[in-house]
Structure 1
Amino acid sequence: MLLRVIDYVANPGGGVRFTVEMLRGLHRMYGPQIELVSHGEALQRYASLLSRDRGVRLVDVPPVEAWRSRTLMAGIPGAGPLNLLLGTARFHHAVAGDLLEGADVVWFPWLHRHRIPWARAGRVVATLHDVITLQFPEIAPAWIRRDERGTVRAWLASGARIAITSNATAATLHSMFGTDAERLEVIPLSGSHERPAAPVTRGDLAFKGREYLLAPINITPHKNAEVLLRALGRTGARHPLVLTGSGMDLWPPRSTRARKLTELAEASGFVRDASLFAPGYVDDRAYEQLLDEAWALVMPTLAEGGGSFPVLEAMTAGIPVIASDIPVMREMVERTGGQVLWFDPRDPADLAAKLAELEARYPEYRGRAERQAKTLRLRTWDDVAAGYARLLGLT
């Protein structure tokens, strides 16, 4: 059986990790022939991760046209801003129709930004991770949101089988698009992954050996850094806040949003490299060590698609977690049978109160976290692959 996988985005966050884990699981358990079609930087990203995976053949096929050539006045120097103003720029990748032929089934592990000849969607499975770009207008310009809304709407109206990662996302899609739950297949994710064999030494970090609070968030607005900074500025002397994630290397600020966050941090009482550390994105090995040595992990997010990998990883490692009380996070944590400290993500005072509670009863919460790590009901990537195997017709 030939499974063709198409992804021209290769989202460097959870998207690539999800795809790679799934391809390995599907090949290990069901043994289909797998072609991964991509191009450019996305293909390079996959090649770096799958270079040793003989069960996956990488195929370089560009999308039909790059967005710059699908605009009015394409190729005219300086026309880009005018194309944006006129609303003629395209955010999506157009997939060649013949890529939907010649395979037993075609899977888009990241349907976002992909459009296909919809009449040929009958043998297509696609994964919709979230609609956060549409929920938070400040994340992207209006023309990108319009394009993404059109892409998602077209997928939902097509004959493709659509998988999502949580019931919370199903509710959001019903609210936004009127999508019935029966249209969607909910396949929750796994938070497990192979831990690096040799973690790097982080002896150069000033917070090493201190009781630091780890916040693995990126700079996008829905990760809710503002509430985090407003709530915890005065506690940084006791528990330095460490920000990891794309764009969170705040000094020097490289964007308007980064500049606003640094100003808010200072106004909230944080002192750079004393009570607030912002290394930004770190690789898996460095992150594993940061997690293992953390006093606690805080996740202030306002929205996720299927939950939070960092929260699951902290629970698995026996690290106390303070998490935003939103439906998708409740769904994920309750599925594991675990417990975290919940707070209202719109209320800095509630987060500060939960941190004070954790401080006052830390041995109790730490002991609970370590005990529950041994009893959590954790999904494996084989479990996820089994759900997709049914949808893909591999069983």
Structure 2
Amino acid sequence: MKILIDARFTRTDHHDGISRYGASLIEALSERPDADLTMLVHDPRQLALLPDVPHVMINSPLSPAELFVSRRINRLNPDAVFCPMQTMGSFGRRYPLVLTLHDLIYYQNRTPPGFLPLPVRLLWRLYHLAYWPQRLLLNRADVVATISETTRALMETHRLTRRPIRIVGNAPQSDAVPRPPVTAPDKSLLYMGSFMPYKNVETLLAGMAGLPDYTLHLLSRIPPERKGELEKRVPGGATVVFHNGVSDQDYDRLLRSATALVTLSRAEGYGLPVIEAMAVGTPVVAADTPIFREVGGTAALYVDPESSEEFTRAVRALDDPPRWKSASSAGRAQALTYSWDTSADSLLAALEEAVELHAKPAGGGRRRTRVQR
């Protein structure tokens, strides 16, 4: 199958969640002898974070030319196209298409990502005022992918698409190996994620008041004004380090020595750091939400995301060496239930289904396809 994968959401410096998702799927698919892959990129610097797969340079997904990108793709004559987002232009397309919706976070938390240009941020806010624009985007596909059962259930609740919804999940890196045995982990806690309000970093900081012997490492890049806001929230006697971004190597090193990865985010599409931590045997303290329950299973320690006291008690529970070792082992077992090979299988099945549906003549049922489980 000649597959075209949209890799234009790959970062040029270091991966974020969507960037890693797309690159990992490309790598897994590239090992399949029956998958003839070509990537779409818009910046040569993206290639440094992508597998060695043939590519075509094309416009940015944020360019006005995106409205007519399908004309260029038609000339490449793919058997099927996969985009890890739902915003890919499709006007006049003549190919089967799988689009992806990761989550519905921005319907409740409408602050757009700061890296978007101002006009796009304004449109973003307007777009998330109602569900009908999302329906228009998703119904342009033949099949819609998402990354979790939690998100699929929300999509069905809000009737976001008439197309089949298929799970193409996230996974830890395929080369993740357990951390070496330790007599006692470092008294460190890691947070990996953005600092948008729904991420609820403020409650993590409040919980550090009861953990003066621990260091909370905030790993991600953070705008100066947001850093200033959070620094004012650090309790007296607490130790909090703002890293403002770390390399993959530093992240791995810190993760393998920490007591726990922590996140009290109120909303996620998946929560990749959770499964990344579990894959190497680092316990997780997470908000008690449906998505974290889905990803973390019975391995994570769950707390009320609004309770800094519960967060403090969960971390203190890991002071007990047998409890820490039990959480570490349970996390590794949970992580083994996810793999990029499995996700690649799911994506191939979704692409094949898209080919079949696209081939049906108008009026033959393709537009009446029901959501299936």
Q: TM-score, normalised by structure 2?
A: 0.80
Deviations 1:141-171 (A, max 9, x none): 5532224667633222224310111121123
Q: Shift of the alpha carbon at 1:126?
A: 1.4
Summarize the alignment of residues 171-186 of structure 1 with structure 2, pairs less than 5 Å apart. 171-175=153-157, 177-179=158-160, 183-186=164-167
- 1:311-352 per-position Cα deviation (integer Å, ceiling 9, x unaligned): 112222222221111101111122xxx411100112222222
Q: What is the SS of the residue equivalent to 1:114?
A: coil
Verify: 1:282 aligned to 2:246, yes or no.
yes
Match of 1:58 in 2: 55
Q: Match for 2:329 among 353, 368, 371?
A: 371
Q: 1:189 aligns with which of 162, 170, 173?
A: 170
How far does residue 139 in structure 1 lie from its aligned partner after superposition? 4.1
Aligned residues: 332
Shift of 1:286: 0.7
Of 20, 43, 62, which residue of structure 2 is paired with 1:17?
20
Pairwise CA distance, 1:136: 0.4
Contact preservation (8 Å) 2:296, 2:331: no
Q: 8 Å contact 1:125–1:392 — kept in the other structure?
A: yes
**Cα–Cα, structure 1 residues 121 and 330, in superposed 2: closer, same or farther, change >3 Å?**
farther
Which fold has the larger relative contact order, with Cα–Cα distance below 8 Å and residues 6 or more apart in sequence? 2
State the distance in 2 between where 1:233 and 1:210 align. Answer: 18
- Mapped contact 2:80–2:95 kept (Cα < 8 A): no
- Where structure 1 has 5 or more consecutive residues not aligned to the other structure, the ranges are 71-92, 197-208, 248-252
Q: Deviations over 1:239-260 (max 9, x none)?
A: 111111122xxxxx612x2221
Describe the shift of the 1:323–1:374 C-alpha distance in structure 2 as closer, same or farther (beyond 3 A). Answer: closer
Please give the alpha-carbon distance, in whole angstroms, between the structure 2 residues aligned to 1:173 and 1:300.
23
Distance across 1 between alignment mates of 2:69 and 2:286: 42
Q: Structure 2: state its 5+ residue gaps.
A: 114-120, 178-184, 356-373
What is aligned with 1:96?
Answer: 69
Distance 1:146-1:193 versus aligned 2 partners, 3 A rule: farther
C-alpha change, 1:121 and 1:169, in structure 2 (3 Å) is: farther
Q: Distance in 2 between matches of 1:150 and 1:181?
A: 12
Distance 1:18 1:326 in 2: 22
1:49 partner letter:
L
The one-letter amino acid paired with 2:254 is L
Change (3 A) 1:259 1:245: same
Among 125, 136, 140, the alignment partner of 2:98 is 125
Q: Does 1:339 align with 2:293?
A: no
1:262 equivalent to 2:222? Answer no
Note the aligned Cα RMSD (angstroms).
2.8
AA matched with 2:39: L
Instruction: State how far apart, in whole Å, the 2-side matches of 1:172 and 1:64 are.
Output: 26
Q: Where does residue 358 of structure 1 map in the other structure?
A: 318
> Partners in 2 of 1:381 and 1:15 — Cα distance?
14
Residue 288 (structure 1) shift: 0.6
Q: Give the counterpart of 1:314 among 277, 294, 300.
A: 277
TM-score, normalised relative to structure 1 = 0.76
Check conservation: 2:206, 2:308, Cα contact below 8 A.
yes
Question: Does residue 115 of the first structure (1) align with residue 115 of the second (2)?
Answer: no
Whether the 8 Å CA contact 1:114–1:151 is kept in 2: the answer is no
1:27 CA displacement: 2.0
Kept in 2, the 8 Å contact 1:163–1:186? The answer is: yes
Contact kept, 8 Å, 1:115 with 1:151, in 2: the verdict is: no
Q: Secondary structure at the match of 2:318?
A: helix
